[in-house]
A and B are shown apart, each in its own frame.
Chain A
Amino acid sequence: MVKRSDMSDTGLPTPDSGPRTPDSGLRTSDSPPAIDVADMTAVYHEQPVLWDVDVTVPAGVLMAIVGPNGAGKTTLIKCMLGLIHPVAGRVLIQGQPYKERRSAVAYVPQRGSVDWDFPTNVLDVVEMGRYGSLGWIRRPGRKEREKALESLEKVGMAAFANRQISQLSGGQQQRVFLARALAQDAEIYLMDEPFQGVDATTERAIIEILRELRATGKTVVAVHHDLQTVPEYFDWVTLLNVRKIASGPVEDVFTEENLRLTYGGLVAVLRNGNGADHNHAAAHSLQMEAAP
């Protein structure tokens, strides 16, 4: 079992995966990275949720954030969006503070974070994606409605525009949230568990849209649970467990070694059954892999 505190000092087998090692590959020197997180530390009730995390997301990648429950995945996304004030560290979006680049970022929160019994319909929810560019007081008009309809079309939900949101299935809710993000016309998409509780068809449809976004030069970051589909869906990955274990191209850093470090000795536990502390983590990650 490797203690987390050892990782940053000892380094890891793959050179790309070591902390503070610059990400290789797609990054070009003349354009700043899409997202640059440095020395990010966040606490919740005195407990560190993120501990000195450095992550650089080059523009134009499709990146997964993986890690066990409580690893700080959602917190990392929220820090990127300035929704949580970290105790240390900073985030740059395209080389500038988030406040300067709000319009470049679209956010898809966890589906369960809102009340789906709220009295409104699908089109109205998607229009909310335009509220940022409208600013205070100005009301959405015909332009916003057209943009919202166009986004619904892209996710295959145009027929549901006037549907009450409480009547949607889980997969449909997720598509509506994705449409709302598309309506923002952003360059960077931050998604918290976009595949959570959706059926296989919806999952394929969503990943197809994310690939289209990448093809047009957008950057997508998604919290992801299904380790098996990481290499298939994503080209970049960050392995997180309070500390950053590794971050880089999937083929370089998505290794058994790094996964073992991330999931707290899962492999060892499976082999010889000791390490009571980690039985929990092992059980969690196994469930995650089994989940659709």
Chain B
Amino acid sequence: MTSAQIDIQLIAAATAAACAIPGVFLVLRRMAMMSDAISHSILLGIVLAYFVVDSTSSPFLIAGAALVGLLTVVLVEALQRTGLVKEDAAIGLVFPLLFSVGVILIARFADNVHLDIDSVLLGELAFAPFDRVIVSGWDLGPRGLWIMGAILAINLSLLLLFFKELKLATFDAGLAASLGLAPVAVHYGLMSSVSLTAVGAFDAVGSILVVALMIGPPAAAYLLTDRLTTMIWLSMLLGVVSAIAGYWLAHWLDASIAGAMATMVGVTFLTTLVFSPSRGLVASLARRRQQKLDFAQTMLAIHLLNHEGTPLAELENRVAGLDAHLHWDATFTADIVARARRHDLVLENEGLLVLTPAGRTRAQSALVHQAAR
């Protein structure tokens, strides 16, 4: 690995980790689309701030652009409060307007800036290693790494300081307000963190990847754990892994780094969706199948119990013809009978099925349970 490759991966990892922290709370608050809005409208902020500070790398530019992110949130909420527009529509109305004003301003007045529409959407991570911080002749590393490192440090400190407040405001804003733990202030604090992170990441990875890194890893982590702290660390880890994997995918395909990273975030999420041990599709399919088989065996036991000791038992409780009585297909019936025998629920005696004590208990308890409902 060349040092440029290491730099790129470090910047990508710091960005992924920094995005995951506010991302977890956006996902839990069902505000995922707000990251999309903020990450786009900050373009206007970057352009406006550039006009004021006349530099693309000043901390004032980052702060100014983040303010426009916050303004987006305020506008969306104000539009929603009119009662005339729903939240999703309000988001869809506000950010394209702010974003396109930014696009026009770049095209009209900022021709000589390195900002262009490609870099807006996908960033320019490949060039990040060449923009270095040099203080009196000393090379202190790429600027992007300093910016994202600082933002990661800010997000981590805010998380550690206000974890309890963030959790309560997210889970139960009413209780938070009644206890004096200002959920509205926490909300705007979180939105500031989202804006700041989006501005920092925007320069390195562009607006699409910001959304992918804020929403994808937390959504995947949500499927893997029941604990909030685990969800946060796991989101950061999944984000970092996807980012680095994305870099190597881009290297291998000779394609856009940001595009490959966003793809890997998607792949990570899909893999989790399918294979998560507790909530994945495979696990829930298996669980549903198991439930169906268990239920069928219980039904068989109830059927046998109903006809046990009656004149009809000779007819009803026979393996042959059971499928017709239960309206099951023959293979399924044979499978269920075999399973019921294996689980010692029934015995087969010259083609006649007889409940074992365990089978009788199962049928009776299912019926009692049903009656109690």
Binding site for B on A (CB under 8 A): 45, 78, 81-83, 99, 102, 105, 107, 109, 113-115, 118-121, 125, 128, 131-132, 134, 136-140, 164, 166, 180
B168 within 8 A of A: yes
Asked whether, in the complex, the Cβ of B168 is within 8 Å of the Cβ of A128, the reply is yes
Asked whether, in the complex, the Cβ of A113 is within 8 Å of the Cβ of B172, the reply is yes
Interface centre among B163, B167, B172 (most CB of A within 10 A): B172
Q: B residues within 8 A CB of A107?
A: 174-175, 178
CB-defined A-B contacts under 8 Å, sample of 6: A81-B178, A83-B178, A119-B228, A128-B168, A138-B164, A139-B163
Asked whether, in the complex, the Cβ of B226 is within 8 Å of the Cβ of A119, the reply is yes
Asked whether, in the complex, the Cβ of A118 is within 8 Å of the Cβ of B83, the reply is no
Asked whether, in the complex, the Cβ of B164 is within 8 Å of the Cβ of A140, the reply is yes
Complex CA distance for A113 and B173, rounded to whole angstroms: 9
Complex CA distance for A140 and B225, rounded to whole angstroms: 22
Complex CA distance for A121 and B171, rounded to whole angstroms: 12
Contact residue among B28, B175, B177, B179 (Cβ-Cβ distance under 8 Å from A118): B28
B137 within 8 A of A: no
Asked whether, in the complex, the Cβ of A137 is within 8 Å of the Cβ of B179, the reply is no
B162 within 8 A of A: yes
Asked whether, in the complex, the Cβ of A121 is within 8 Å of the Cβ of B168, the reply is no
Asked whether, in the complex, the Cβ of B227 is within 8 Å of the Cβ of A102, the reply is no
Q: B residues within 8 A CB of A81?
A: 177-178
Q: B residues within 8 A CB of A139?
A: 163-164
Query: Using a Cβ–Cβ cut-off of 8 Å, how many residues does chain B contribute to the interface with A?
Result: 27
B181 within 8 A of A: yes
Asked whether, in the complex, the Cβ of A121 is within 8 Å of the Cβ of B174, the reply is no
Given contacts A109-B172, A113-B174, contact A132 B181 (CB under 8 A): yes
B98 within 8 A of A: no
Complex CA distance for A131 and B28, rounded to whole angstroms: 20
Q: B residues within 8 A CB of A119?
A: 28, 222, 225-228, 230-231
Q: B residues within 8 A CB of A137?
A: 161-162, 164-165
B139-183 toward A: CB 8 Å interface, digit per residue (1/0)? Answer: 000000000000000000000011111011011101111111100
Q: Nearest-CB distance from A182 to chain B (Å)?
A: 14
Asked whether, in the complex, the Cβ of A131 is within 8 Å of the Cβ of B178, the reply is no
Complex CA distance for A134 and B279, rounded to whole angstroms: 35
Q: Nearest-CB distance from A162 to chain B (Å)?
A: 10
Q: A residues within 8 A CB of B226?
A: 119-121, 164, 166
Asked whether, in the complex, the Cβ of A136 is within 8 Å of the Cβ of B165, the reply is yes
Q: A residues within 8 A CB of B231?
A: 119
Interface centre among A45, A99, A109 (most CB of B within 10 A): A109
Asked whether, in the complex, the Cβ of A83 is within 8 Å of the Cβ of B180, the reply is no
Complex CA distance for A105 and B164, rounded to whole angstroms: 20
Complex CA distance for A140 and B228, rounded to whole angstroms: 15
Complex CA distance for A102 and B176, rounded to whole angstroms: 11
Closest to B228 in A: A119
Given contacts A83-B178, A132-B181, contact A120 B227 (CB under 8 A): yes
Q: B residues within 8 A CB of A180?
A: 175
What are the 9 A-B residue pairs with the smallest beta carbon separation, nearest first?
A132-B179, A107-B178, A164-B226, A109-B174, A81-B178, A114-B172, A119-B228, A118-B171, A102-B180
Given contacts A81-B178, A107-B178, A139-B163, contact A114 B171 (CB under 8 A): yes
Complex CA distance for A241 and B171, rounded to whole angstroms: 31
Q: A residues within 8 A CB of B230?
A: 119
Q: A residues within 8 A CB of B168?
A: 128, 131
Asked whether, in the complex, the Cβ of A131 is within 8 Å of the Cβ of B171, the reply is no
Asked whether, in the complex, the Cβ of A128 is within 8 Å of the Cβ of B227, the reply is no
Q: A residues within 8 A CB of B164?
A: 131, 134, 137-140
Complex CA distance for A157 and B171, rounded to whole angstroms: 20
Complex CA distance for A74 and B171, rounded to whole angstroms: 19
Q: Nearest-CB distance from A13 to chain B (Å)?
A: 37
Q: A residues within 8 A CB of B171?
A: 114-115, 118, 120, 125, 128
Q: Nearest-CB distance from A261 to chain B (Å)?
A: 30
Asked whether, in the complex, the Cβ of B178 is within 8 Å of the Cβ of A105, the reply is yes
Given contacts A105-B178, A131-B168, A164-B226, 13 further A-B contacts (CB under 8 A): A45-B83, A102-B178, A107-B178, A119-B226, A119-B227, A119-B228, A125-B171, A131-B164, A131-B181, A132-B178, A137-B165, A166-B226, A180-B175
